[in-house]
Amino acid sequence: MSETVLDPAASAPRASVDPWIPCLLAWLAPGLGHAYLGRKGRGAVFFVVVLATLGLGISSDGAAALIDPHQPLTYLATFDNLAVGPLELLSRVATYGRIVYRLPEDEADPRHIELTDRLRKKVRSVTFEYGNTFLLTAGLMNILLILDAFDIATGRKD
């Protein structure tokens, strides 16, 4: 049965809602923005799907991206990782043993050596590419959820 039929009020935009609140909630926990807007079932499905995607990424030896100023695409990958919200910290700790976002520029820096060693261990895993794909997809999904929550809150979408 249609979610709209079950809860007709859910299809109407919440007039008094600041659209940034559901966006922030959607970033804090996937699906929470939708739940806040009255779409609890849909929000629960999104939470499970994004969490499963993230979990598969971590268990498949995917690596959280680090910002490397010499490689501009790492900015995008790190932004994508961050889009999952606080849950992203799990993948970062699983990859590097701590919360770190930037690779030191000096290649002789012991921190640079340690981080690249940890990354190489992941890269050697046969499922590394799968893991990375799952991790990046979880981020992309949550970006879409944040935008969707914004559209619902502003009445652009039912």
* Residue-by-residue DSSP string for 69-135: TTBTHHHHHHHHHHTT-TTHHHHHHHHHSS---B--S-TTSHHHHHHHHHHHHHHTSTTHHHHHHHH
**Number of residues binding to another protein, judged by CB under 8 A:** 28
Minimum CB distance to another protein, residue 129 (Å): 10
Gap between the Cα atoms of 118 and 52, Å rounded: 24
Cβ atoms 91, 54 nearer than 8 A: yes
Q: Which of residues 27, 46, 47, 96 is near another protein by CB under 8 A?
A: 46
Residue 134 within binding range of another protein, rule CB under 8 A: yes
Burial class (CB within 10 angstroms; exposed 0-12, middle 13-18, buried 19+) of 116: middle
Residue 123 within binding range of another protein, rule CB under 8 A: no
Minimum CB distance to another protein, residue 145 (Å): 8
Q: Which of residues 42, 122, 136, 153 is near another protein by CB under 8 A?
A: 42
Size of the chain in residues: 158
State which residue, 3 or 109, has the beta carbon closest to another protein: 3
State which residue, 4 or 71, has the beta carbon closest to another protein: 4
Residues that bind another protein (CB under 8 A): 1-5, 42, 45-46, 49-50, 52-53, 56, 59-61, 125-127, 130, 133-134, 137, 141, 144-145, 148, 158
